[in-house]
């Protein structure tokens, strides 16, 4: 069982904070205690979650108001038992930053072979699509985490 789970996207204001919150909520719903965190490969450090992402999340009962973006570091990579990324280029970035993380890096959409497209600065429909993909991919991981 993985006790420390990291989700990773680019800016750490849309996809990874949402994936972090969804994972945390769904694990708790199943009586699992795990520490779930998120980071970005090019984080907008200190920024709140994107307003459109917050709205989509809140409509699904998920509050992202406390989130603040942070940059992926080698230390954060070492901390995590597993790192779930949104796109293949995040795998490459994280591997380059911390080569020892290679064996614990996976696409969030690994089981359905799907990447989560970046909705940043796009319509709410794009944010809703990213949320749908994140929720489905999270469900695929729950039995394996």
Q: What are phi and psi of 122, to 5 degrees?
A: -115, 180
Choose, from 60, 118, 135, 140, the residue flagged as catalytic. Answer: 118
Choose, from 14, 15, 50, 131, the residue flagged as catalytic. Answer: 15
Residue 135 a catalytic site member: no
Q: Counting beta carbons within 10 angstroms of the beta carbon of residue 105, is it exposed (0 to 12), middle (13 to 18) or buried (19 or more)?
A: buried
Choose, from 9, 24, 50, 131, the residue flagged as catalytic. Answer: 9
Q: Counting beta carbons within 10 angstroms of the beta carbon of residue 29, is it exposed (0 to 12), middle (13 to 18) or buried (19 or more)?
A: exposed
Residue 70 a catalytic site member: no
Residue 144 a catalytic site member: no
* Positions marked active-site: 9, 15, 118
């Amino acid at each position: 069982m993985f006790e420390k789970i990291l989700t990773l996207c680019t800016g750490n204001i849309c996809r990874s904070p949402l994936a972090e919150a969804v994972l945390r909520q769904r694990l708790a719903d199943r009586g699992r205690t795990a520490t779930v965190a998120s980071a970005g490969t090019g984080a907008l450090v200190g920024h709140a979650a994107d307003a459109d992402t917050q709205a989509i999340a809140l409509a699904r009962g998920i509050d992202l108001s406390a989130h603040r973006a942070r940059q992926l570091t080698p230390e954060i990579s070492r901390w995590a038992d597993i790192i779930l990324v949104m796109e293949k280029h995040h795998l490459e970035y994280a591997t380059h930053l911390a080569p020892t993380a290679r064996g614990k890096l996976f696409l969030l959409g690994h089981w359905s072979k799907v990447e989560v497209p970046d909705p940043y600065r796009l319509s709410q429909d794009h944010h809703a699509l990213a949320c749908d993909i994140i929720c489905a991919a999270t469900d695929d991981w729950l039995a394996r985490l």
